[in-house]
Amino acid sequence: MKRYLGIAPGILLSILGLVAVSLPAGAHHSFAIYDSQNPRTMTGVVREHRWTNPHAAVVLTVTNPDGSETDWVLDQGPVNMLSRQGWTRDTLKPGDRLTVTFDPLHSGQPGGLLQEWAFTEEAQVELTGTGTILRGDRPDNVPMSDAEARNFNGVWANASGGIHFDTLNSPSRRGQQPPLRPEYLAMWNQRWADADAGRATTDPTARCIPPGFPRFLTMVLPGEILQAEHQLNWYAEFSEATVRVYLDGREPPADLVPSFNGYSTGHWEGNALVVKTVGLRGDTLVDTTGVPHSDQLTVNWRMTKVTPDFFEVDIELVDPVVFTSPWTTTKYYSRLPAGEFVQEYACQAGNRFEVNAEGEIEVIFE
């Protein structure tokens, strides 16, 4: 009998499975809705394998002690992640008998977050794949021509090792220290307290609303950069958002309407692309832990190639309303193997998570 990670093996467990503990806002919805402290194990028969974003799900029919049956809906990662781990829509088929371990919903509904699964008979599949997060140490700088150093075209994955903002100085989400003014620090701390209590406070992405910028830079799924002389377009697979960096010397319009990804202008300093992003909405979050910002946020960032297949972005957040001082970090990105491409991510197509009047996440069962 072989055992597999329900979300996805290896890389994805470290990115999503382990952040389930007391995380106020995950890649899509809050993992606080799941009780990671009291995992359950049960055996049942696959009724359906829902192959959809923002989460695939295994519907497992379990026979109760009284002979009745209950369908348990066990969430996995997005199709985009699972497919890169070697999953297909036919990896699990109706009638497959499985033993599963999962984090149950705090609400008591018959569902949870799938952590491990195994066929009760001889294993029928083998999962292989590269994953969506390529993590590792920053490589040494490699000499490049000016043309290569200024060329960011390609499909890239997050190589920073985390999905919170300050991964450079704090491997732990709780360990990062945003320079928040007292009232905003209280808001952030309350999110942690709610998560610890199993209350899933809202994250805009739970309603399939774009994560916005600079959260864009903490990519959960790959992104693709298409670059021309006058403009660089950076497309993020998660939420299907695009950041456009204008390189033709223009200035932001005077009557700029705040948007999710703002208005970005850039120029070259040597072989580094220096970018300034303004015009951001104030109702998004800096990162998955729920750090707030206002519509006065300015993001200064600097893209530099380290090797032909690795680049870094130095980031400075300046917000006179929310922060007491600039907040800085560096993020890393690694080129995905040849043949990888960005996939469609239709968040609304399979979304089962809604935010109620109290701002809490509810799971909708069909």
Residues 158 and 183 in one domain: yes
342 part of a folded domain: no
pLDDT, averaged across the chain: 85
Residue pair 49/75 in contact by the 8 Å Cβ criterion = no
What DSSP assignment string belongs to 60-94?
EEEE-TTS-EEEEEEE---HHHHHHTT--TTSS-T
Residues 283 and 356 in one domain: no
Residues 165 and 89 in one domain: no
Task: State the Cα–Cα distance between residues 243 and 133, nearest whole angstrom.
Answer: 20
Higher pLDDT, 355 or 259: 259
Residues 115 and 17 in one domain: yes
Mean pLDDT of all residues in 11-17? 30
**Per-residue pLDDT band at 167 (split at 50, 70, 90):** very high
Q: What is the pLDDT of residue 8?
A: 32
Higher pLDDT, 204 or 27: 204
Residues 327 and 184 in one domain: yes
204 part of a folded domain: yes
Q: What percent of the chain has pLDDT over 90?
A: 59
Number of other CB atoms surrounding residue 232 within 10 Å: 21
Residue 229 in this model has a pLDDT that exceeds 70: yes
208 part of a folded domain: yes
Residues 10 and 100 in one domain: yes
Residues 61 and 84 in one domain: yes
Range scoring the smallest mean pLDDT among 28-37, 121-130, 355-364: 121-130
Q: What pTM, to 2 d.p., does this model score?
A: 0.72
Q: What is the pLDDT of residue 296?
A: 98
Residues 122 and 44 in one domain: yes
Residues 155 and 199 in one domain: yes
Give the total number of structural domains in the chain. Answer: 2
**Per-residue pLDDT band at 171 (split at 50, 70, 90):** confident
Residue 184 in this model has a pLDDT that exceeds 90: yes
136 part of a folded domain: no
Convert the pLDDT of each residue in 82-125 to its tens digit: 988 888 888 999 999 999 999 999 888 999 999 998 888 655 55
Residue 68's CATH number: 2.40.50.140
163 burial level (CB within 10 Å; 0-12, 13-18, 19+): buried
CA 32 → CA 40, 119, 200, distances in Å? 16, 28, 5
Number of other CB atoms surrounding residue 350 within 10 Å: 16
Mean pLDDT of all residues in 331-356? 85
135 part of a folded domain: no
Mean pLDDT of all residues in 54-75? 92
220 part of a folded domain: yes
Residue pair 148/355 in contact by the 8 Å Cβ criterion = no
Number of other CB atoms surrounding residue 248 within 10 Å: 10
137 part of a folded domain: no
Residues 263 and 196 in one domain: yes
Task: State the Cα–Cα distance between residues 287 and 59, nearest whole angstrom.
Answer: 31
Name the token pair of 94: 């109706």
Convert the pLDDT of each residue in 239-291 to its tens digit: 899 999 999 999 999 999 999 999 999 999 999 999 999 999 999 999 989 99
Residue 43's Cβ-side half-sphere holds a number of Cα atoms within 13 Å equal to 7
Task: State the Cα–Cα distance between residues 197 and 135, nearest whole angstrom.
Answer: 31
**Per-residue pLDDT band at 131 (split at 50, 70, 90):** low
Residue 182 in this model has a pLDDT that exceeds 90: yes
Mean pLDDT of all residues in 326-341? 94
Residues 121 and 168 in one domain: no
175 part of a folded domain: yes
| Structural domain harbouring 354 | 3-128+349-363
Residue 19 in this model has a pLDDT that exceeds 80: no
Residues 189 and 288 in one domain: yes
